[in-house]
Amino acid sequence: MRLERLLSGGSVLLAVLLFGSLNLIGNTLVTSWRLDLTSNRLFTLSEGTRDLLQAMRERDPIELRFYVSRGQLTNFPRLNSYATRVQDMLREYASRSGGTLRLSVIEPEPFSEEEDEAVQDGMNGFQVDSGGSLAYLGLVGVNETDDREVLPFLSPAREDSLEYDVSKLIHKLSNPRRLTLGVLTGLPIFPGLGNPGLGPQGAAEKPWTIISQLREFMEVRELQANLHHVDPDDIDVLMVAHPKGFSEQLVYAIDQYLLNGGKLLLLLDPLAEASAAQQGAAQSVLPDFGSNLPRLLETWGLEMPDDKVVGDLKYAMRVQVSSTRSQSESLYPPWLRLDTGQQEAQDAAEDAEDFILNSGDFALTGIKLLQMGTVGALLQTEPVDGLEFIPLVQSSMQSGLLERDLILLQRDPVFLLRSLQNADDRYVLAARLRGNAPSAFPDGPPPVEQAEGEEGEAAASDTPAADPDAHVSEGPVQAVLIADTDLLRDLFWYREQSLGTLRFNQEIADNANFLIKAVDHLSGSSELLKLNPRRVYPRNFDRVEEIRRTAEKKYRDEEERLQNALQETEQKLRNLQSPQGPDGGGILSAAQAREIEQFKREQLKTRKQLRAVQHELQKNIERLGTTLKFLNIGLFPALVLLLALIAGHLRAHPRRRTASRRSRDDDSP
């Protein structure tokens, strides 16, 4: 018995030693082995990053300094494990770069030289105890020419964008030559810039976040509206956003820039809500918040109606609707949430269900979600020989056109949904132009517009006339057209979040990534096309959303019928209860009194039915949610447990039969 106990204890001790040895060997020798089971492959370097690191082998080395306060993070398990994840990823970057990425891990202690170095490198510390001690979790990169890029705080909230942020930092350091983006706009995008089409109102206090994002990859220049020439050798890509109030000379400058080999990113909008928000719509005459360049579009065989916006039942955003009694959610058709889910771009434009298509070498992969507001429709009226019109972004087959003035006057989502009930068309919201086209000014440069002086007489303009001898009548066209400017606004793609005293950005849509890729493609580069933030956006349950939309339509129709019946009943009551009575008399007859009582009962009944209809939709949605919770929380685990019990019973049953047989054998003589 003692020998058996000794052997048993030795076996346990041997198992413990073996387990510890295997862990030690694993942590030492196979730290690079990984099995990524996440649906979005968050722990595996993407193809774009691998290509970037392969190209790094032929470039100057870059030093990466990773600051992590291990000692201070022990009381923060989430941050500590995230720091380990970041460090492992940085090691993989270094190992795949062939030695051109040199990684240093620095652990700054409070009041140490390492902490001084972290502060000097631009790290943002955050307080971890009541004594004022700071912890650091950030990254800085430095190239051979002492260019510096800093990620001052690596927030766990941006873990799904970690690879994108690190790859972006390396890309900027390894590509010192940055392309130049010139921006002409009628929106208050830049500080101190008012809208030239709206007057001095709406000057911005700081650049819009979209400009800050673009500046991370390229040099962004603000161009003034009085220029008469844009040099393609000086401006790699020209971005024209909301060209409202542009002079003929400015439109001519855009036309000639394009035909001389320039690249154009053009954003138009029949209703730019940024302009509406700046100036407001409370005027005696409906203001015009739209922008268009009909002269250029007509030359390219295109049209964007000034008085129409696209409404989409499938891609409509949900907004909060307030009433006198309650607050509820409703679809708002003019604002679009274009979501591809986990699917990539489709090859066939005719059969593609996704909103983003693959246009040859401009493959917009990695764009999962765009959010746009009051979008216009790009219509091809007459194809131009030698010029390709390639759709990039389209609405669904459940879309239609809404009157722009209706959006300004009537923002009731229910009313707009009723207007789109029979929508069954698809519209191009963004497109690519490629090929050759004639100038929009076949007769040469337009005459210089004369400005009026204080006395109303013509005064000489400061804008010089264009050189007629330099006029180009035909040339190449490389452009991306987008029938929306609201996608630039922070409201539709960006949120600012905070962790204690630290603030960081959180993208809620791929709007900025879409523009960056468009500019990168137009410039002739392709290095940014494969760099994608692998964010996990909230995804709707398609079946649930379909049930919800069907129910909403049903209840909207019933609500409208009851509202009409209620209004009719109330009108009859008002007629009967008027001081003069229905026949002009002042005293009601008994029959009239009975009729009034009957109408009051009908009124009460209709109101009850109306309230029941308004509450039924929410109850159905809650009931569906409860069912899904039961299936996920209760039923499926119960089925797994039942299968385990059955399997256990089946394994135990042969043992009982064997034991019973042995017992019978022992009892037999």
Tens digits of residue pLDDT in 188-241: 888 864 444 333 344 556 789 899 889 888 899 999 877 778 888 899 999 999
Q: Is the per-residue pLDDT at 556 higher than 80?
A: no
C-alpha angle with apex 374: 533 to 398, nearest 5 degrees?
85
Is 246 in contact with 266 (CB distance < 8 Å)?
A: no
Beta-carbon count within 10 A of 487 CB:
28
The pairing of strands 101-106 and 62-68 is: parallel
Chain segment 160-188, per-residue pLDDT in tens: 778 888 888 888 888 767 889 999 998 88
Query: Which residues in 13-30 are b (16+ Cβ under 10 Å) and which e?
Result: eeeeeeeeeeeeeeeeee
Length of the chain: 669
Question: When comparing pLDDT for 503 and 330, which is higher?
Answer: 330
pTM of full prediction above 0.75: no
Q: Is the per-residue pLDDT at 516 higher than 90?
A: no
Chain segment 460-505, per-residue pLDDT in tens: 445 566 677 789 999 999 999 999 999 999 888 888 776 655 666 7
- How far from 234 is each of 220, 245, 471, 523, CA to CA, in Å? 12, 25, 19, 12
Separation of alpha carbons 274 and 272, rounded Å = 5
Chain segment 528-551, per-residue pLDDT in tens: 656 666 555 555 555 555 666 666
Q: Which of 155-159, 314-318, 476-480, 517-521 has the lowest mean pLDDT?
A: 155-159
Query: Which residues in 317-328 are b (16+ Cβ under 10 Å) and which e?
Result: beeebeeeeeee
Q: What number of H helices and E strands is found in the chain?
A: 17, 26
Res. 304 pLDDT band, cuts 50 70 90: very high
Region 16-37: mean pLDDT is 60
Res. 513 pLDDT band, cuts 50 70 90: confident
- How far from 15 is each of 2, 24, 28, CA to CA, in Å? 20, 14, 20
Res. 252 pLDDT band, cuts 50 70 90: very high
Summary mean pLDDT of the chain: 76
Edge-to-edge, what's the strand order for the sheet holding 101-106?
101-106, 62-68, 137-142, 148-151
Kindly give, in sequence order, each residue whose CB lies less than 8 Å from that of residue 280, ignoring residues fewer than 6 positions away.
none
Separation of alpha carbons 166 and 332, rounded Å = 37
The pairing of strands 502-507 and 387-394 is: unpaired
Burial environment of residue 471 by CB neighbours within 10 A (0 to 12, 13 to 18, 19 or more): middle
Residue where the block lists tokens 């991306």: 480
